[in-house]
Amino acid sequence: MNNTPRTLNRILIGILGLKLLAVGLLLVVLAAVPAAASWWQQWSAGVWNGMSQLLQRTSIPGRQESWLWAVPALLLAVVIALMVAWVAQQGKGRSSLILAEDDAEGLPGNVRIGGGVAEQALRAALAERQDLAGATVATYEVRGEPALKIRLQPRQGVAPHLLAADVSALVEALDAVVGKRVPVLIHIGTGARSRFSRAERVR
């Protein structure tokens, strides 16, 4: 419901996982196969000699340092900037308001109701239910409008449709208090907490 780039995250995690897998396999091969270890030593020595010669040929006039070191420094700065931009994209879409009306019903003034009001009210109502192992409520902005996301973890044996109906009744009561119908996404899932906690069937 938020604007977190999940597809991009999965691609980046997949690429990182493949790289780590390749490095792990290479280390295993180098440790287990003597011929591979010998080849690696010869290859790495040749690469190091080539790099040393290249750095010597590209040294700054009057100094021993090579100007090529500026290239990895620039690439590192770009990577850091991309990482900062990527982190800034995580979790976007959260909203602090559940209602924002200007001159509501012809009355002058602005009406603002924080999303925390709705979140705390729903969490308090859901915390009293014995058929839930966990519940979270968050406010998001979807297409410029505030909306609620309710994530529920029912215990084993709980009928999802009955649970959804009860939560919908709570949301309708909240709409009556707020004075506006708020879009709501109800997510009912299971997890380790649901499976291993003591189950109590709803009667």
Q: What is the pLDDT of residue 17?
A: 92
Domain ranges across the chain: 6-88, 97-196
Three-state DSSP class for residue 18: helix
Dist CA 129 CA 142 (whole Å): 29
Put simply, whether the predicted model's pTM sits higher than 0.85 gets the answer no
Q: Quick one: pLDDT at residue 108? A: 59
pLDDT at 77: 92
Residues 6 or more apart whose CB falls under 8 angstroms from that of 96 comprise 114, 115, 116, 139
pLDDT reported for residue 85: 81
* DSSP for 85-119, written as a single string: HHHHTTTTTB-SEEEEEESGGG-SSEEEEEHHHHH
Per-residue model confidence as pLDDT tens for the chain (203 residues): 555 566 777 888 899 999 999 999 999 998 888 888 888 888 888 888 888 888 788 887 777 778 888 888 899 999 899 888 877 766 556 666 776 666 555 555 666 777 777 788 888 888 878 888 888 888 887 777 788 888 888 888 888 888 888 888 888 888 887 777 888 888 887 655 445 444 333 33
C-alpha atoms less than 13 angstroms from C-alpha of 35 in its C-beta half-sphere: 0
pLDDT score, position 18? 94
- Please, are residues 162 and 202 in contact by the beta-carbon 8 Å criterion? yes
What sign has the CA pseudo-torsion 139, 144, 145, 151?
A: negative
pLDDT attached to residue 199: 39
Residue 16's CB is within 10 A of a number of other CB atoms, namely 10
CATH code of the domain occupying 97-196: 3.30.70.1350
